[in-house]
Amino acid sequence: MSELRAKAKDFDSRLYEKMQVILPSIGDLELYEFGYALKNLCPPQGWDSIHPLPGREIETLVSQRGFYEAIHTRRIAGDRIVLDEVIQRLTQMLIVGLLDGLYSVDWVNEHFYFDIRAFLFFHRTRYYTDEVLSHFGGKPALQFAAKQRQLEHLQEIGYREFSHANAEIDQAFIDCVVKLVSARGTPILITLAGPTAAGKTEIMARLLAAFAAQGKRITTIEMDNFLLDRDIRGENPMGVLTSHFELFKQCLKDIRQGKRVSIPRYDFINATSSHDQTGILKPGCTPLVVEPADVIFIEGNFPFQLPEISEAIGIKVVYLTDDPIRLKRKWKRDIDFRKKYDPTFFVNRYFKTQFLRGDDCYAPQMRCCDIVVDTTGAALWLTPQIAAILDQS
């Protein structure tokens, strides 16, 4: 065996052992399987060409918006999408820094998590800021055993395993919302926001079933139906300037008064709205009609942190699952089953958007919502005001 090959084999073996401390499920791979994946990360000039930054500099780097905004999700080489070099470089530095002793295992696990299928390190999004903790009185109202830890060895997660792990916290949340609606009266607007693959759709279905069992009239208003045409809004996410915002506000006002409302209908295939930019129905288009109901769910992550909207919503919820678990859910759901994305585009996009969405959307929502359901931590967070209402009911 040549000296070069022996050196490469030694590098693989040492990293294989170190990575099992970072993530024990690495041990589910054989060393040669680990080597296959690692080869894709090896720089053309070899691992000796990687010079890791000091840990403090990396912490600063991954806490800046510009780091993520610079990532290209569809960089093309030849005839395929390739991994963005910013993402690849970060993992290369963490690998070499771990082996050289520059970074401790504890430091790496504090700031990053490793996904086996992507075979990359991702930055951990910090959801619980001091401001969020203060908003909820410093501690969760209810805490259960964190059973999602049982899923850490899996490369991807289906909904059956996910829902089983979340059974206790989900039921506690459903019971809480049912009591709140009883205490506050109807009609009432409820928002349930949260990151992709957190389980919002599934818990929403269970909430609907709980209210239906009580004989309550239920309806939903999907925020995406208020989007402007794509050629008007570009790739910008939903916001005041990219949606029929005035129509949305009027809709909320009317339906709270028990009125039937007519709202825009968004064509997701053609990316066009039934209404023009001024809010007038286009010729030949048909709006959606939403009947009055006791419980009205607003679907979508926008915009309950805006004061003029927040005041109209009776119960504001953020349904949260940590990034590593959501990524595993998306591998199974979006890549294996839906075949929705090119896998490399999927990795680039997930890496890029988690920090930005957390900064733009979930952090502001968590600072003003009534309830956070943290399925990974198996914790139910209530504001003191909501806790007081439940104590009295």
pLDDT confidence band for 307 (50 / 70 / 90): confident
Kindly give, in sequence order, each residue whose CB lies less than 8 Å from that of residue 77, ignoring residues fewer than 6 positions away: none
Q: Is residue 199 part of a domain?
A: yes
Same domain, 345 and 385: yes
**Considering 123, 139, 169, which residue would you say is the last residue of a domain?**
123
Q: Is residue 275 part of a domain?
A: no
pLDDT at 336 over 60: yes
Same domain, 304 and 325: yes
Q: What tokens does 253 get?
A: 């006002």
Kindly give, in sequence order, each residue whose CB lies less than 8 Å from that of residue 50, ignoring residues fewer than 6 positions away: 43, 92, 93, 95, 96
Same domain, 18 and 166: no
**Considering 89, 106, 123, which residue would you say is the last residue of a domain?**
123
Q: Is residue 368 part of a domain?
A: yes
pLDDT confidence band for 306 (50 / 70 / 90): confident
Q: Are strands 80-81 and 371-374 parallel, antiparallel or unpaired?
A: unpaired
Alpha helix (H) ranges present in 242-382?
Answer: 245-256, 307-310, 323-330, 343-357, 363-366
Q: Which tens digits make up the pLDDT trace of 345-366?
A: 999 999 999 999 998 888 889 9
Q: Cα(366)–Cα(200) distance, rounded to whole angstroms?
A: 15
Beta strands in the chain (DSSP E): 76-77, 80-81, 112-115, 120-123, 142-143, 188-193, 218-222, 261-263, 266-267, 272-273, 288-290, 295-299, 315-320, 371-374, 379-382
Other CB atoms within 10 Å distance of the CB of residue 385: 9
Q: Which residues pair with 218 in a beta bridge?
A: 295
Separation in Å, CA 127 to CA 52, 62, 146: 27, 15, 17
pLDDT, residue 238, reads: 76
Instruction: Tell me what the pLDDT averaged over the chain comes to.
Output: 93
Long-range contacts of 232-237 (CB under 8 A, 24+ apart): 232/277, 237/302, 237/360
**What pTM did the predictor assign?**
0.91
Three-state DSSP state, 297: strand
Instruction: Return the CATH number at 144.
Output: 3.40.50
Q: Which tens digits make up the pLDDT trace of 308-317?
A: 888 889 999 9
Q: Tell me the HSE value of 46 on the side-chain side, using a 13 A CA sphere.
A: 7
Average pLDDT of 1-26? 81
**Considering 94, 123, 152, which residue would you say is the last residue of a domain?**
123
For 8-22, 91-105, 318-332, which range has the lowest pLDDT when averaged over its residues? Answer: 8-22
pLDDT, residue 7, reads: 60
For 185, the domain range is: 130-217+293-392
Same domain, 211 and 349: yes
Same domain, 152 and 202: yes
Same domain, 167 and 28: no
pLDDT confidence band for 8 (50 / 70 / 90): low
Average pLDDT of 274-291? 96
How many domains are there within the chain?
A: 2
What's the gap between Cα 225 and its chain centre? 21
Q: Cα(127)–Cα(139) distance, rounded to whole angstroms?
A: 14
Q: Which tens digits make up the pLDDT trace of 126-147?
A: 999 999 999 999 999 999 999 9
For 189, list phi and psi in degrees, rounded to 5: -95, 135
In percent, the amount of the chain with pLDDT more than 90 equals 85
pLDDT confidence band for 1 (50 / 70 / 90): very low
Same domain, 29 and 77: yes
